[in-house]
């Protein structure tokens, strides 16, 4: 009987330890998840921080204020583009043709579209001087995975509309990535989609890549 009681006690102790380990593991996972998501920002705060930091750098750099497009482009590339979902933006802009493109063609499309996007966004940034960023009230539910953050650059003259479509992203430091931009009332992805469709219909995917590359070269020459 003593042997039986000892076996029963040992089994009970093992079960208790197993439950304790499982509970500790579960609590550990929960804590890790909370810590990982504690740094996530609200989408409007993320855009406010991103644009404010960008404006502070612009205002402190005389060469940028004087219109140095190359330097503005480098700044946008370093500060803004890491927060952009390029694949989604490019595939959405290219439309059905994206699925027909080879991996190498998709890579080239992303490279050229990124250069074009940097140039377009830099054009808005180059207008900054004594302006301030105003983030409009966010219209979104707490569990929305995609939201629109509307902002205005206010100062002298008419306000500059600059809106962002952002998506939740677990691999983004802020928890959000930009996948579309509205500059002065024009959503870039939709605007380029119609242009790119015409290029693809007449010249194919390679023709679109060549057209984008030539446009980027022309923009670079013009800035010099």
Successive 10-residue mean pLDDT values, the chain, 224 residues: 45 43 35 42 92 85 77 86 93 94 96 89 70 89 93 84 93 91 90 93 96 92 74
Give the E-state strand segments of 34-188 in sequence order.
Answer: 132-135, 146-154, 160-168, 176-183, 186-187
Give the E-state strand segments of 85-209 in sequence order.
Answer: 132-135, 146-154, 160-168, 176-183, 186-187
pTM over 0.85: no
Please list, residue by residue across 77-90, b when 16 or more beta carbons sit within 10 angstroms of its beta carbon and e when fewer do.
Answer: beebeebbbbebbb
Which CATH number is 41-223 given?
A: 3.10.450.710
Burial (CB count <10 Å: 0-12, 13-18, 19+), residue 208: buried
Domain positions in the chain: 1-38, 41-223
Which residue, among 190, 111, 125, has the nearest Cα to 160 in the 3D structure?
125
Alpha-carbon distance 144 to 5, whole Å?
56
Which residue, among 136, 131, 188, has the nearest Cα to 158 in the 3D structure?
131
Alpha-carbon distance 142 to 184, whole Å?
28
98-156 tens-digit pLDDT: 999 999 999 999 999 999 888 877 777 766 667 788 999 999 988 899 999 999 888 77
């Amino acid at each position: 009987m003593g042997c039986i009681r000892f076996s029963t006690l040992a089994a009970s102790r093992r079960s208790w330890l197993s439950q304790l380990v499982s509970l500790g593991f579960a609590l550990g996972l929960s804590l890790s998840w909370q810590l990982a998501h504690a740094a996530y920002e609200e989408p409007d705060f993320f855009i406010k921080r991103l644009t404010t930091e960008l404006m502070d750098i612009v205002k402190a750099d005389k060469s940028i204020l004087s219109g140095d497009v190359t330097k503005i482009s480098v700044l946008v590339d370093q500060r803004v583009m890491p927060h952009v979902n390029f694949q989604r933006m490019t595939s959405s802009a290219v439309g059905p043709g994206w699925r027909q493109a080879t991996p190498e063609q998709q890579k080239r499309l992303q490279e050229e579209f990124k250069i074009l996007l940097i140039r377009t966004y830099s054009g808005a940034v180059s207008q900054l001087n004594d302006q301030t960023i105003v983030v409009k009230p966010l219209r979104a539910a707490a569990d929305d995975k995609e939201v629109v953050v509307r902002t205005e650059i206010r100062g002298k003259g008419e306000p500059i509309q600059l809106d962002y479509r952002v998506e939740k992203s677990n691999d983004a430091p802020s928890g959000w990535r930009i996948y579309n931009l509205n500059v002065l009332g024009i959503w870039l992805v939709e605007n380029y989609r119609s242009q790119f469709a015409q290029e693809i219909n007449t010249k194919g995917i390679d023709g679109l890549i060549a057209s984008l590359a030539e446009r980027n070269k022309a923009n670079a020459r013009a800035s010099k």
